[in-house]
Amino acid sequence: MTPTRWLPRAVTALTAAAFLVYAAAVVGLIRQEEPWATWFYPLAWYPTLLFGELFLIRRRGHGLLLERPRWVLAALAWSVPFWLLFEAVNLRVANWFYVSLPPHPVARWTGIVLSFATVIPAVLVSREVMAAVGVGKSAADPTAPGTVRRHHTYLLQLLGVLFVAFTFTWPTYFFPLVWGAVTLLVDPWVYRRDPARSLLGAVERRHWAPILQLLAGGLVIGFLWELYNVQARGKWIYTVPGLEEVKLFEMPVPGFLGFPVLALDTWAVWNALELAGLVPGRWAGGARLSARARALVVALAVLGSVATAVGMERLTIVSTRPTLAEIVGDEALAARLAELDPFTLLRTDPAEVARRSGADATTVAAWYRTARLATLRGLGVRQARLLQAAGIRDVPELAMSDPLRVAEALGRTDRAGLARARVWIRAAREALARTG
């Protein structure tokens, strides 16, 4: 069956499926039910990708994803090491961290991989959507082409190296340079092999449309990424120096400028992958890497991803979703309250919990104190116990604590540790303000 015959049926089925999953995710988030509450981000983002694809099909008769399954699988697969590259940088700059992810490593990393896999498809689809609605349509001046010489491309790559060096040497001041360093390093390589594919080639031809489409698309998907992240249990939280108080969703407002630049980075890397022969489908030209070189790139991507994942487990994934067994410290007691988790526990009458568990009122009150701490902005049970051991027994005491005291209790007093302490102190104060 040809694509023109099966595509309308697929569009109808996928539209229905996308709306059902998206609606279920929203309802599950509102009701704070699992897995929707923890994994709202990917459960909402994959339908959103399909909405973009379906818009393209309706608008121009063909999309980007559905007719090229191998190409799409490659985009999903390469998205993971691509984003993990930025996670590796974050191990040094410590500008964001993750909270309330699933306790079991397999479930945790399945969700992480599925989430990271959306980055390249999101940029590609958003760029096509921007083109379809006419962004940058008249932004060209073909009568005044520029000239890019070979040595210019090497100078740009040298600038990219300096951006990376500054980021790692003085991360507090130069962390924004990482967004754009990838474009400076990769796009000149693309230009030297196929100028028509590169951003630098577009600048040379004064053909601004693809750049404007990427910038606009990057801003849109960045807004959606942050919108879907802010209410989810499993989420990331930013601790950008100097910008902790000026946020839209979880993102410091100036940080939204990074998303358009990330779109340029993504475009440069994706075209490099296609030119290297690491993506099936639309490759054209004579720049394909040798089989040995391609195998080396894949091996480095896998090894780098594994190393970064190990680093994230130690430094970036700060907490896992609390369980009732952790709160009560006794599997048998938790089994008597099997339908409860720490979130629903806090909505249950303590007298009812005492009756069903057989625990005394003092013990139940201690469970509630720990549960309130553990569920506060992803603090987690392990860190709640550390605070309690340091004399910070509940949310009100956390709200009155000094960041250094909290950071010392949690065992990390560097810039990142102090920033995280401020996140939880601020959350405790906001929780008290809401309850009067």
Of 432, 431, 29, 434, residue with least CA distance to 230: 29
**How far apart are alpha carbons 219 and 212 in whole angstroms?**
11
Position 309 in a domain: yes
Residue 29 corresponds to which tokens in the numbers above? 């988030």
Q: How confident is the model at residue 287 (pLDDT cuts 50, 70, 90)?
A: low
Single residue among 271, 289, 316 that ends a domain in this structure: 316
Residues 267 and 342 in one domain: no
Residue 1 has pLDDT above 50, yes or no: no
Residues 345 and 295 in one domain: no
User: Cα dist. 145→189, 268, 418 in Å?
Assistant: 20, 21, 51
Residues 91 and 216 in one domain: yes
Instruction: Determine contact, residues 47/18, Cβ cutoff 8 Å.
Output: yes
Position 276 in a domain: yes
**How far apart are alpha carbons 363 and 262 in whole angstroms?**
50
Amino acid at 86: F
Residue 195 corresponds to which tokens in the numbers above? 């100028």
Single residue among 316, 336, 360 that ends a domain in this structure: 316
pLDDT the model gives residue 183: 96
Residues 120 and 152 in one domain: yes
Position 37 in a domain: no
**How far apart are alpha carbons 218 and 264 in whole angstroms?**
8
Query: Which of the listed ranges 31-45, 123-137, 296-310 does the model predict with the highest average pLDDT?
Result: 296-310
Beta bridge partners of 140: 207
Q: In angstroms, how far apart are the furthest CA atoms of the chain? A: 83
Position 225 in a domain: yes
Instruction: Determine contact, residues 273/279, Cβ cutoff 8 Å.
Output: yes
Position 377 in a domain: yes
Instruction: Determine contact, residues 232/40, Cβ cutoff 8 Å.
Output: yes
**How far apart are alpha carbons 5 and 370 in whole angstroms?**
58
pLDDT the model gives residue 320: 94
218's CB contacts (< 8 A; 6+ apart) are 123, 126, 259, 260, 261, 262, 263, 264
Residues 100 and 217 in one domain: yes
In degrees and rounded to multiples of 5, residue 387 shows phi and psi of: -65, -45
pLDDT the model gives residue 145: 65
Residues 68 and 181 in one domain: yes
Of 184, 185, 232, 196, residue with least CA distance to 30: 232
Residues 137 and 253 in one domain: yes
Q: How confident is the model at residue 143 (pLDDT cuts 50, 70, 90)?
A: low
Instruction: Determine contact, residues 194/274, Cβ cutoff 8 Å.
Output: no
Please give the mean pLDDT across all residues of the chain: 89
Tell me, rounded to whole angstroms, the distance of Cα 80 from its chain centroid.
11
Q: How confident is the model at residue 28 (pLDDT cuts 50, 70, 90)?
A: very high
Residues 427 and 370 in one domain: yes
Range with the lowest mean pLDDT among 216-225, 281-290, 294-303, 376-385?
281-290
363's CB contacts (< 8 A; 6+ apart) are none
Query: Could you tell me the residue range of the domain that residue 231 belongs to?
Result: 64-316
Residues 303 and 344 in one domain: no
Residue 153 has pLDDT above 60, yes or no: yes
Residue 254 has pLDDT above 60, yes or no: yes
Position 17 in a domain: no
Average pLDDT over residues 417-433: 93
Q: Where are the alpha helices (DSSP H) in 170-237?
A: 171-174, 178-193, 199-204, 209-230
Position 389 in a domain: yes
Cis amide prior to 35 (ω within 30 degrees): yes
pLDDT the model gives residue 318: 95
Residues 209 and 352 in one domain: no
Give the predicted TM-score (pTM) of the model. Answer: 0.90
Residue 352 corresponds to which tokens in the numbers above? 């009812």
Q: How confident is the model at residue 154 (pLDDT cuts 50, 70, 90)?
A: very high
Single residue among 296, 316, 336 that ends a domain in this structure: 316
Determine what percent of the chain is predicted with pLDDT higher than 70: 93
**How far apart are alpha carbons 430 and 406 in whole angstroms?**
17
Residues 91 and 172 in one domain: yes
**What is the total count of domains within the chain?**
2
Beta bridge partners of 269: none
Residues 90 and 239 in one domain: yes
Position 228 in a domain: yes
Residue 6 has pLDDT above 70, yes or no: no
